[in-house]
A and B are shown apart, each in its own frame.
Chain A
Amino acid sequence: MTRIVFSKKGYAKYISHLDLTRCMARIIARAEIPIWYTQGFNPHPYMVFSAALPIGVCGENELMDIKLVNPPQYPAMLKAMNAAAPDGISFSGIYDSDREFKYIDKALYTLKVPKDIADDFEAFTLKDKIPAVKKTKSGETEIDLKTEMSLKKVFNNDEETVFEIIAPCGNERNISPVLLTSAFTESTAKRAVFSLTRTAFLDENGNIFR
């Protein structure tokens, strides 16, 4: 399998996952990548993505697997795909990998909080419990974000405070840090624009998943 590392930033963070898959198929077509098509009544280019990014969240090392029909020319492919990509989407790596996405366990996020609410936000995160409602296909469940994710302050300056978050991001359990920022907005009624970026995936040992 050919693994491609890409980022989704700027206005591209507002593209939904479904729209992103269509966008990728078009990039691949424009770049004339010899992709393998599924065999069936309605063939489509074979692509597998790591966990979907929520709308509004940037991604820096997102992963996508494709299958090729011809022997790969990786450096040229990467160049062609970057040339064919719309603003906000870019490709930074391409390599062979057989390690399946099901071995992804957690993800690493960077959360930038604007200065004017940074103190309030920090105080909010120090509470014993941060209840949130997680919506799934099977219904709603109440969870405590405190036990679900780890959060630490890594940096602050005159403009913003930066936190690092590690949250579950596997097939079994997937908790989006958007739940945390929404819980803050709801409980304090303070409207702010958080900047959230998923920077890496981790396996169950806490090592970077490539």
Chain B
Amino acid sequence: MIKNIDRILSSVSKPSWYIGTELNAIHKSKENIYTRVAYCFPDLYDVGMSHLGMKLLYHMMNERDDLWCERVFAPNTDMEELLRKTGTPIFALESKDELKDFDFVAFTLVYELSYTGIANILDLAGIPLYAKDRGDDMPILLAGGPCMCNPEPVADFFDVIDIGEGEENLNELFDLYKECGKNRHEFLERAKNIRGIYVPNHGEKQTKVTRAIINDLPNVYYPDKLVVPFAQVVHDRISLEIMRGCIRGCRFCQAGIIYRPYRQKPVERLKNDAVKLCRNTGYDEISLLSLSTSDFQKLPELADSLKEYCIPRKISLAVPSLRIDNFSKEISDEISSIRKTGLTFAPEAGTQRLRDVINKNITDEDIERSCKIAFENGASAVKLYFMIGLPTETDEDIIGIAKTAEKVVDYFYKYATNRSRGINVTISCATFVPKPHTPFQWEKQLTLDEIQRRQELLKSSITSKRVHYKYHDADTTVLEGVFARGDRRISKLIETAWRLGCRLDAWTEHFDFAKWLKAAEECGIDFYSYTARQRSFDEELPWGFVDSGITKEFLVRECEKAYKAETTPSCAEKCAGCGVNRLCKGDVCP
């Protein structure tokens, strides 16, 4: 246990982020533990504690009697300063032991802009960043999370990278660690035989790593309790994952690919989990989590059975991720009978042509129909998500975004029952970043100048005062693009930028693009050679050795259909032959 803990906690601005005694935090006695895991989220506590994947695996790992998994988050700037000033190593929240004392230091990597957090946490722990610089006395560095479907940008740092769904293979990995009697070399060599495990810096390089996939999602582990933070965090509620995967096949969407196949959980199971989670946490809100909640076939049935428990206890039900094309009156009723919330829809593109290119199969009529339902039921705020810079996008498509939003305003005055309250339409606009394993993985990303030009064009195309336009910083998008499709050279860039002082890059107040440009110059890296370059279908890609289950033939086919603005029906209508079922036992697809 580190010294001076009280002195440190009494001097930081948010001490409750570091105390580790939240309700349901897991404390074990060290004597009975064979494997100790420090599970790190390379961003601040309030973000990390909002992330379901980390909570889920934290509780799953701690189900093992021989293992104790504890949490670590990136320290806020004042905490970092204090740790450095007092020469105190970063510590795991539960035991307050320093990270060198652990068998594994694991990172969950959910977005690319958290990568400098790896360097910072390891530095504060006194652990060398590069795998090649670590001796046998150092913990084994493990990484996982959705970003690891292209592990190469951070592969130099880690000993073991888990690609795919950790529920499926983590127990096998820890069993192996025990079997090898903590012998590092034997463990690393044998870990390569576990599906989904990539060992990037030991022995021969693996030519193919196949994503780990849960075959039986209806019966897979789900926690019956969650750590309940004292401080308010971004998502301060119960997340109930109702299904995994998506039937839609939007061509820009990485999650739509890397969480295939589409697997739903039974209503009975979900109800039981929800009741246990409410009892064990005391939360007053449940959020149904999935990539596209309205595609859950038994949504009305699920909402009914949850309402039965929730209403008398004043627990509200949040249903995010609804689609416009199957948003029904029934769903609207289910939501508003518990608590009225604003509506969020994602048309993604401003014209029908471009929506066909990206295979977002919704029409103007769908938008009108769902707005009608929402406004007739009293909604007065609508948030619309779009992307700019999608393949084949023209100025007409950009202007179409403004037109779509203004049409929503018109629908309000046409259908609303409470016109006097007025309507607020927010356009939230991200810039398209081509992601590995998607049909657009070969596409070019916009340059900074072009992003800015199109953002200005959109801004000047909005005439209604009812429409508000929010957009993301273009600089971060470029960097995200570099990391997303990066190769091994990127690890040096991350290290250099961190040395120059880059931290917490996902936060606008900390993000410093000038430093990143300097780091790129020092490393001889040209950002646009990663982002703005059109790749040919034959090019060998850094993530080419990762078998996501989806065949290259499918991705090429989808990309070529995109150029012709041809759509592909959802998995529920017709199998598009993506190939994922090769990796699954039995008939998992819808």
Residue among A19, A26, A87, A193 making CB contact with B10, cutoff 8 Å:
A193
Cβ distance A42 to chain B, nearest Cβ, rounded Å:
9
Query: Please, what's the 1-or-0 string for A1-38, where 1 marks a CB less than 8 Å from any CB in chain B?
Result: 00000000011101110011011011111100000010
Q: Is there an interface contact between A14 and B15, defined as CB atoms closer than 8 Å?
A: yes
Query: Closest residue to A178 on the B side, CB-wise?
Result: B10
In the complex, B21 has a CB within 8 A of chain A:
yes
- A55 contacts which of B15, B228, B278, B279 (Cβ < 8 Å)? B15
* Residue pair B16, A19 in contact (C-beta under 8 Å): yes
- Residue A71 interfacial (CB < 8 Å): no
Give chain B interface residues in 324-346, CB to chain A under 8 Å.
none
Q: Are B228 and A10 in contact (CB under 8 A)?
A: no
Report whether B282 and A25 are in contact in the complex, using a CB–CB cutoff of 8 Å: yes
Tell me if B347 counts as interface (CB < 8 A to partner A): no
The interface on chain A, measured as residues whose beta carbon lies within 8 A of the other chain's beta carbons, has a size of 27
Given the interface pairs A14-B15, A14-B16, A19-B230, the reply to whether A30 lies near B7 with Cβ below 8 Å is no
Q: Name B177-236 residues within 8 Å CB distance of A.
A: 228, 230-232
Give chain A residues whose Cβ lies under 8 Å from the Cβ of B314: 37, 43
Say yes or no for B65: interface residue by CB 8 A criterion. no
- Whether A72 sits at the interface, judged by CB under 8 Å, is no
Q: Residue A56 contacts which of B10, B230, B280, B283 (CB distance < 8 angstroms)?
A: B10
Query: Is B506 part of the binding interface, using a Cβ–Cβ cutoff of 8 Å?
Result: no
Residue picked from A11, A16, A30, A43, most chain B C-beta under 10 Å: A11
1/0 contact trace for B1-17 toward A, CB 8 Å?
00000110110000110
Q: Is the CB of A193 within 8 A of B282?
A: no
A37-B314, A56-B10 as given contacts; A10 in contact with B230, CB under 8 Å: no
A26 touching B23, Cβ below 8 Å: yes
B21 lies within 8 A of A22 (CB): no
CB <8 Å contact, A14 and B19:
yes
B281 CB–A CB distance under 8 Å: yes
A66: interface (CB < 8 Å)? no
CA distance in complex: A20, B10 (Å): 17
A11 touches B282 (CB 8 A): no
In contact, B9 and A30 (Cβ under 8 angstroms): no
- Bound-state Cα–Cα, A30 to B282, Å: 5
Please give the residue numbers on chain A whose beta carbons come within 8 Å of chain B beta carbons, in ascending order: 10-12, 14-16, 19-20, 22-23, 25-30, 37, 43, 55-56, 84-88, 191, 193
Residue contacts A-B, CB under 8 angstroms, 30 given: A11-B9, A12-B19, A12-B21, A14-B15, A14-B16, A14-B19, A15-B19, A15-B230, A16-B16, A19-B232, A20-B230, A22-B232, A23-B23, A23-B228, A23-B230, A25-B282, A26-B282, A26-B283, A28-B282, A29-B282, A29-B283, A29-B284, A30-B279, A37-B314, A43-B314, A55-B15, A56-B15, A86-B21, A87-B21, A88-B21
Enumerate the 8 nearest inter-chain pairs by beta-carbon distance, A residue then B residue, closest first. A26-B282, A14-B15, A29-B282, A11-B19, A86-B23, A30-B282, A87-B21, A19-B230
Binding site for A on B (CB under 8 A): 6-7, 9-10, 15-16, 19-23, 25, 27, 228, 230-232, 278-284, 313-314
Instruction: Given A29-B313, A56-B15, output 8 extra A-B contacts at Cβ < 8 Å.
Output: A11-B20, A14-B10, A15-B16, A25-B282, A26-B282, A29-B278, A30-B279, A43-B314
